[in-house]
Structure formats: C-alpha cells, structure tokens
C-alpha cells in the first residue's frame, strides 16, 4: 500500500477491529468480545507500540458508560481486557528482554539496544512530545535549512532502489544515502 515498510495501515486495522469488538461486547453483553478487543489492542502494540494506547481510554470510557450490567462487573471486564492486552503484547517484550543483547539482533530505532527504551522513547512518549530519538531522530523535512529537498531527492533515490535520510547535524540538515551500494 505504501510501497515501503510502514505498519500504520495494520495499526489502524487492529484499532478498528478493537473498536468493533468493544461495541459488539456492549451489544451482546459478553466478555468474550471485550477480551478479543484487548487481544487486538495487544497486537496493535506489537505493530506500533505505545501509539495504540491512544484509543484505549476512549474504549474504556465507552464500555463503562454504555455496557449493560453493574459498574463492578464492567470494571472486572475491563480488567480482563487489559490483561488480555498485556498478554497479547507482553510476551514479545519479555522474550526480547530475556535474550542477552549479544545474542539478538540490534533493536532498530533504539539508542542502546533496548526494547524498553524503544517502546518508551522513540515509539512511545517521544512521538507525543516530538522529542523522539532513534533511527530518524527529531528532524523532519523543512524543519532545518537544507532538508526541504529531501522529499524530492528521496523520490529520485527510490527510482534507483535506494532512499535518503535527513538528519540534523548541528543547525543544518544533511541528506545522505541509505543504501551503500549507490553511495
């Protein structure tokens, strides 16, 4: 769809499926659908990490307000869905953290080969604050002098099977090749 490796469409699909499952849980008055919503959100976490959590408060409030049954029952159902989300997402974090750093591939986008740093920094709070540091840093096209041409240069590079990356080098931005074969 995007012609590059971007999981945004999958994230939106999983969040939409979680929304559907939450609504279905309220309509059918069943825990099963709400647990499935938690699983979808957990898979969304595996897709783009903390970004999926932006919809969780809305789903939780909607369920608390509109679901049938008592408040205690609704809270227990939400706790179950939260547990399903943690299990669906947490297994991967646990496996990566349990494998010694010298025995696993480098965690791309992290500064120190830590999946927790990647989750909380670059793919988490850094995205909300705009202070993410990782494989692309905080520079964007047009943000620094000299970086506005990166989009055009990137189109030309993609036609050769490469791409360019802009990064901040002091006050100016530098465009450099991302494929060493074409220097």
Statement: residue 15 has pLDDT above 90: yes
* pTM score: 0.67
How big is the CA angle at 95 (ends 91 and 100), to the nearest 5 degrees?
Answer: 160
Tell me the pLDDT tens digit for each residue of 108-131: 777 788 888 888 877 777 766 776
45, two tokens? 């976490």
Report d(CA 51, CA 11) in Å as an integer. 9
Tell me the pLDDT tens digit for each residue of 32-83: 999 999 999 999 999 888 889 999 999 999 999 999 999 999 999 999 999 9
More confident residue, 175 or 97: 97
pLDDT bin (cut points 50, 70, 90) of residue 1 is low
């Amino acid at each position: 769809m995007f012609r590059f490796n971007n999981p945004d469409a999958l994230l939106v699909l999983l969040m939409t499926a979680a929304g559907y499952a939450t609504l279905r849980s309220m309509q059918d008055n069943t825990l099963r659908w709400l647990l499935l919503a938690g699983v979808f959100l957990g898979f969304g976490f595996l897709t783009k990490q903390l970004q999926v959590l932006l919809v969780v408060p809305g789903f939780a409030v909607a369920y608390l307000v509109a679901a049938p049954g008592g408040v205690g029952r609704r809270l227990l159902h939400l706790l179950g869905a939260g547990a399903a989300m943690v299990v669906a997402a947490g297994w991967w974090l646990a496996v990566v953290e349990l494998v010694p750093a010298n025995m696993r591939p480098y965690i791309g986008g992290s500064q120190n080969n830590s999946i927790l740093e990647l989750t909380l920094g670059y793919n988490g709070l850094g995205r909300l604050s705009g202070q993410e540091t990782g494989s692309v840093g905080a520079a964007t096209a047009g943000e620094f002098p000299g970086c506005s041409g990166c989009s055009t240069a990137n189109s030309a590079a993609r036609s050769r099977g490469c791409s360019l990356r802009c990064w901040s080098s002091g006050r100016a931005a530098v465009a450099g090749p991302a494929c060493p074969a074409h220097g």
